[in-house]
Amino acid sequence: MSSGTTSEEDKRALYWLGERLIDYRHPVMIVVLIVTGYFAWLSFQLKLETSFGDLLPQSHPFVQIHNKYAGTFGGANNIQLMVEVKDGDIFTVSTLDRIYKITEEMDRVYGVNHNQIDSIGHRTTRYLRAQAGGFLKAEPVMIQMPKTADDAANIKRIVHNTESIYGILVSLDDRAALVRANFIEARLDHRRTFTEINERVIAPFEKGWIGALIRGRDAFKGETSAAAAVDTVYRDTAAARAGLKVGDIIVSVNGKPVADRVELAAEIQKYKPGTTVRLGVKSGEETRDAQLTIPEPDLELYVAGEPRLYGWVYSYASDVFWILTVTYCFEWIFRWMYFHDWRGALRPTLTGLIAAFWGLGFVHIIGFALDPLILVMPFLVTARAVSHAIQMHDRYYEEFERHDWNQRKAIVAAFAELFIPTFAGVVTDALGVLVIILVPIVMLRNLAIVISWWILAITVAELLLNPIVYYYLRAPDPEVVLARDKGWYKALINRVTDWNLSSLGKGTTMVFWLGLTAVGAFLMRGLIVGDPTSASPLVWSDSPYNVSHAHIQDKFGGVEPLIVVAEGKDRDAMKDPKVLRTMENFQRYLERDRDVGYSFSLTDILRAVNMVFHELEPKWGVIPNNSRDVAQTFFIFFSGSPPTETAKYVDPSYTTSHVTFFARNHKGDNIARIIQECKDFIARPENNMDGKATFKLAGGLIGVLAAANEELVRNDLLMNFLGFFTIYVIVLFSYRSWVAGLYLLAPLFISNILINAAMAVFEIGINVNTLPLVTVGVGFGIDYGLYILSRIIEEIRVNNNLDLSIREALVTSGKAVSFTAVCMIGGTALWTFSNIRFNAVMGGLLAVWMGVSFICSETLLPVMISYFRPGFILREGGKASRRPVVQAQAAAVS
């Protein structure tokens, strides 16, 4: 064990600093507490929020096209709602009425773009109707709710004869209808959208359905609320059997008052089908009870789309609190058992808390909101803070014993001896994360700044405040300190260390890690950029969202839009037959791709109108040969529609339009392939549209994801390189050696390969959400190596024996490192229980990552040092032998 005397000579300035911090403890403490208090106050004002625009690379040309046309041709934030009947088809009065009402309610959800709703129940979904005198007129499919079976049959006939509806908004088996709504990005409020769709769009028509339409408030009449008045009662339904009549007002369910139809539906859906409930019904002035048997829902609603997905993620976000609570309690117990003292449990908590307040307060200052998908990040940073504090506390105990139970000397020595590894570890982590700033995605840039700051804030608690806190706390009992060197844990560390440093252990360690690295390098070839599966990786495959998404995809082929804009040079460019034929060819070309379900463009309307104009003869389902005929055909269809409705097909001057492809999924490799096919088609000379228009990629969800994936591919390797380079440079300055960095980077490099391999095997793609976590992981393993290497150098300065120093470092700092690692891995692994699959997978992955880094640093690093005997460490031993203290010790030993 080192004497402490030689270290004091080497680190005179740090010992002086430690002493001054204790001397000036009151002013330092007051300043830190005031600043921490301010940050804490800011922290409690933080909100959980996702800004869709911040997730996109705004400088990418695809995103610029998306931003330019999202308001007219449709954006990436679509909700798809599928109404599917359990028996028969949708063409019954009751079902069509509900589709109409569902569409109406969807139109009222906050943030919806009222002109970008597609549904047979919406005014903008039109068909061509021949009128007396041979005139054609485009009319909404459902101008009002059907009242009779004949009305329903008429709607069925219209749907079957309209190419742009049948198979697109109504399934080919007539059992499902799709309601598609686009949301305005600037008005996206995921929680509100989620709640409103659940309460107003789903509940009243699915599990809250009683067989009667209940009147809602009429916003046009300025109503802010409306009682649950019965509007229509359908035959042979629970409502009819309960004796409900038009005009009745339902005021309570089993005695519980219901103010409106939303509360009524919420109450009804609490009961299982077959249960009889007592409805309080008001007819005129009289109030009576009606016995209603809750019916089995006759239709099911499935909702998918990005706003819905984020809504689910937000609804699961409170998971973080129980994970945090359980982790906290477990960690307290672990630390208490390790240190045999409550101060050992409390001190790391203070460090984590102070760093967290500084970090979260800063988040608020820069106007950045927390996304539920990055909650693992703050958790990890706090775990790092706790980890450094455990190292410091362990060292404090060690120095307390060494300095004959002198508290002040122990505090200063622990501070000075661990200053370099702690500071180097913190700065390495912070700069390692800061390289994310290179990716031109606002959310990642903000995250890089916030997390770097947060990590740097650890120095405040760990280095500035630490000696002061120790000084205020009562010193531990000597028996508590001595207890650390006894027990099974210490014995285990000793045995593992002895085996690892034996000849057999060294050989086995080298072969094991080399073999594992080779296997990892082979497997990591399967790593992909983007989402690796068709289901959303953010939530579990059996989650309600993914079940809905899969159902809709099965029924309608593809629902995820890729919008390619056809930008004309002059007005009326979209009336040019050559331009239109190229758009049509584009559709047919890309529809050959197995993951493109169907497509839509202005030409579909044109061909359909032309055919209707010629008595539905299929041979006329073509694009007219000259601009005049094209213009006339468009006029027929669009003449009765306001510009706000036609804008989603073509701009009012006919300069710009779009071709929209609906993809079956957004798997990373499929997106890359589809985009490449688009580029191939556009690049062909015959598709240049005589220079009258050009195709611009790309809007819609597929377009913006393609942009994000392209940016990630471009920056992933660079960030990895810079991450490692930053670590190398800091280690270079910390140890003044060119090779020290190589020794410390070896475990990180191996961990990185193994984690990339694990991501490939477990189908975790590199995307906007995973990238920051993966980048953080690169730097997080370095701390273990830094503490062990620093201790080896410290020991060799005293005993001038490399192998003895390695062993001493592993049973002292290595022991604390192993305890820290176990705590961190345990805490992070708890995330695997999260309802958010992304958090669960990333928690598990990071736990494995820290485990691999830890084991590699504890086994491979010392073995490499022992094998290759690096000069930068031996040099320190050489200095030690020249010191009088060591010479005296050596003489005493001999």
371 lies in the site for other proteins, by CB under 8 A: no
Q: Considering beta carbons, is residue 332 or 499 the nearer one to other proteins? A: 332
Considering only 173, 296, 477, 485, the residue that binds other proteins (CB under 8 A) is 477
Listed ranges 196-204, 223-231, 316-324, 439-447: which one lies at the site for other proteins (CB under 8 A): 316-324
Q: What is the DSSP letter of 593?
A: S
Listed ranges 4-12, 220-228, 341-349, 572-580: which one lies at the site for other proteins (CB under 8 A): 341-349
Q: Considering beta carbons, is residue 480 or 672 the nearer one to other proteins? A: 480
Considering only 186, 246, 333, 616, the residue that binds other proteins (CB under 8 A) is 333
Beta pairing class for 693-699 and 596-601: unpaired
Alpha carbon 336 to chain centroid distance? 35
Cis preceding-peptide flag for 290 (omega within 30 of 0): no
Minimum distance, C-beta of residue 366 to other proteins, in the bound complex (Å): 22
345 lies in the site for other proteins, by CB under 8 A: yes
Q: Give 837-857 as a 3 state SS string.
A: HHHHHHHHHHHHHHHHHHHHH
Q: Which amino acid is at 866?
A: S
**Which position has the token pair 């040079």?**
569
Longest dimension (CA), the chain: 121
Considering only 329, 616, 729, 761, the residue that binds other proteins (CB under 8 A) is 329
Q: Considering beta carbons, is residue 253 or 385 the nearer one to other proteins? A: 385
Alpha helices per DSSP H over 460-601: 466-472, 478-483, 488-500, 503-523, 544-556, 577-591
> Across-strand partners of 86?
none
733 lies in the site for other proteins, by CB under 8 A: no
833 lies in the site for other proteins, by CB under 8 A: no
Considering only 349, 688, 694, 835, the residue that binds other proteins (CB under 8 A) is 349
Minimum distance, C-beta of residue 840 to other proteins, in the bound complex (Å): 17
Listed ranges 213-221, 330-338, 513-521, 842-850: which one lies at the site for other proteins (CB under 8 A): 330-338
- Angle, nearest 10°, between helix axes 837-868 and 802-811? 160
The sign of the dihedral angle between the CA atoms of 57, 60, 64, 66 is: negative
Q: Considering beta carbons, is residue 23 or 479 the nearer one to other proteins? A: 479
Q: Considering beta carbons, is residue 172 or 329 the nearer one to other proteins? A: 329
For residues 645 and 657, give the distance between their C-alpha atoms in angstroms, rounded to a whole number.
14
713 lies in the site for other proteins, by CB under 8 A: no
For residues 428 and 775, give the distance between their C-alpha atoms in angstroms, rounded to a whole number.
12
41 lies in the site for other proteins, by CB under 8 A: no
42 lies in the site for other proteins, by CB under 8 A: no
Q: Considering beta carbons, is residue 166 or 336 the nearer one to other proteins? A: 336
Minimum distance, C-beta of residue 381 to other proteins, in the bound complex (Å): 18
Site string for other proteins, 426-465 (x = CB under 8 A): ----------------------------------------
369 lies in the site for other proteins, by CB under 8 A: no
Considering only 346, 438, 442, 885, the residue that binds other proteins (CB under 8 A) is 346
The sign of the dihedral angle between the CA atoms of 356, 362, 365, 371 is: negative
488 lies in the site for other proteins, by CB under 8 A: no
C-beta atoms surrounding 620 within 10 Å: 15
Listed ranges 131-139, 212-220, 300-308, 327-335: which one lies at the site for other proteins (CB under 8 A): 327-335
**Stretch 738-767 residues interacting with other proteins (CB under 8 A):** none
C-beta atoms surrounding 608 within 10 Å: 21
87 lies in the site for other proteins, by CB under 8 A: no
- Output the CA–CA distances (angstroms, integers) from residue 6 to 317, 433, 650, 846, 880, in the order listed: 52, 36, 80, 39, 8
Q: Considering beta carbons, is residue 110 or 332 the nearer one to other proteins? A: 332
Listed ranges 245-253, 334-342, 576-584, 698-706: which one lies at the site for other proteins (CB under 8 A): 334-342
487 lies in the site for other proteins, by CB under 8 A: no
Q: Are 214 and 237 in contact (CB under 8 A)?
A: no
Listed ranges 34-42, 248-256, 339-347, 377-385: which one lies at the site for other proteins (CB under 8 A): 339-347
For residues 101 and 172, give the distance between their C-alpha atoms in angstroms, rounded to a whole number.
22
Q: Considering beta carbons, is residue 173 or 477 the nearer one to other proteins? A: 477
C-beta atoms surrounding 402 within 10 Å: 17
For residues 841 and 381, give the distance between their C-alpha atoms in angstroms, rounded to a whole number.
18
Considering only 144, 276, 325, 639, the residue that binds other proteins (CB under 8 A) is 325
Listed ranges 122-130, 191-199, 337-345, 423-431: which one lies at the site for other proteins (CB under 8 A): 337-345
Minimum distance, C-beta of residue 334 to other proteins, in the bound complex (Å): 11
Alpha carbon 101 to chain centroid distance? 33
Listed ranges 151-159, 268-276, 476-484, 791-799: which one lies at the site for other proteins (CB under 8 A): 476-484
Our CA dihedral for 552, 554, 556, 557, rounded to 10 degrees, sits at 120
Minimum distance, C-beta of residue 349 to other proteins, in the bound complex (Å): 7
For residues 847 and 866, give the distance between their C-alpha atoms in angstroms, rounded to a whole number.
28
Strand, coil or helix: 664: coil
Q: Are 302 and 82 in contact (CB under 8 A)?
A: yes
472 lies in the site for other proteins, by CB under 8 A: no
Q: Considering beta carbons, is residue 336 or 681 the nearer one to other proteins? A: 336
For residues 173 and 88, give the distance between their C-alpha atoms in angstroms, rounded to a whole number.
10
Q: What is the DSSP letter of 858?
A: H
Q: Considering beta carbons, is residue 213 or 317 the nearer one to other proteins? A: 317
Listed ranges 93-101, 322-330, 562-570, 727-735: which one lies at the site for other proteins (CB under 8 A): 322-330
C-beta atoms surrounding 472 within 10 Å: 8
Using CB under 8 A as the binding criterion, the count of chain residues that bind other proteins stands at: 18
Q: Considering beta carbons, is residue 345 or 766 the nearer one to other proteins? A: 345
C-beta atoms surrounding 273 within 10 Å: 11
Q: What is the b/e burial string over 634-650, where b = at least 16 CB atoms within 10 angstroms of the residue's CB?
A: bebbbeebeeebbbbbb
Considering only 135, 220, 321, 472, the residue that binds other proteins (CB under 8 A) is 321
342 lies in the site for other proteins, by CB under 8 A: yes
478 lies in the site for other proteins, by CB under 8 A: no
Considering only 23, 286, 479, 542, the residue that binds other proteins (CB under 8 A) is 479
- Output the CA–CA distances (angstroms, integers) from residue 480 to 286, 329, 733, 816, 823, in the order listed: 78, 21, 37, 16, 20
Q: Which of 514, 516, 521, 517 is nearest to 864 (CA)?
A: 514
Minimum distance, C-beta of residue 477 to other proteins, in the bound complex (Å): 6
Q: Considering beta carbons, is residue 220 or 321 the nearer one to other proteins? A: 321
**Which position has the token pair 């791709």?**
593
What value does the CA radius of gyration of the chain take, rounded to a whole number of Å?
34
Q: Considering beta carbons, is residue 252 or 382 the nearer one to other proteins? A: 382
For residues 713 and 506, give the distance between their C-alpha atoms in angstroms, rounded to a whole number.
38
Considering only 336, 405, 728, 749, the residue that binds other proteins (CB under 8 A) is 336
Q: Are 323 and 831 in contact (CB under 8 A)?
A: yes
Q: Are 447 and 374 in contact (CB under 8 A)?
A: yes
Strand, coil or helix: 144: coil
Listed ranges 123-131, 325-333, 458-466, 611-619: which one lies at the site for other proteins (CB under 8 A): 325-333
Which residues of the chain form contacts with other proteins (CB under 8 A)? 318, 321-322, 324-325, 328-329, 332-333, 336, 341-342, 345-346, 349, 477, 479-480
